[in-house]
Amino acid sequence: MLRFRVDRAKAAAEKAVPKVRAAVSGATYWLGYGASFATVFSYTMVKGLAPEVFKAGCRDGAATAQKTAEELASKLRAQPNRRPVNPEHGTDPSGPATQPGVA
């Protein structure tokens, strides 16, 4: 009797797996579609309607952000012996102790 139930459960699971996989695949597709549509649509609308000075500021800000992020990433990669950060306090555990409320 138990073997019969196990076989039925296994057969039901084998039938369900392709359906679940197809549902996840479809959801992933539509998530990518929606994200890309929203991004491109918004960009195209702003590009077409925004004043030129706004566009210039966006370009300059993006270039500066990219340069700053690349420099920071380069510095962080160059420090192989970094001490771990205490996630509870966001500080180096071997650093000086601080007292709450003291400025």
Using one digit for the tens of pLDDT, what is the confidence trace for 7-48?
Answer: 888 888 888 888 888 999 999 999 999 999 999 999 899 889
Amino acid at 40: V
End-to-end alpha carbon distance in the chain = 73
Is residue 59 assigned to a domain? yes
Alpha-carbon distance 71 to 53, whole Å? 27
pTM for this model (two decimals): 0.42
Q: What share of the chain is helix, strand, coil (3-state, %, to 5)?
A: 70, 0, 25
Is residue 8 assigned to a domain? no
Is residue 10 assigned to a domain? no
Say if residues 47 and 55 touch (Cβ distance below 8 Å): yes
- Determine the structural domain holding residue 51 and report its residue range: 27-69
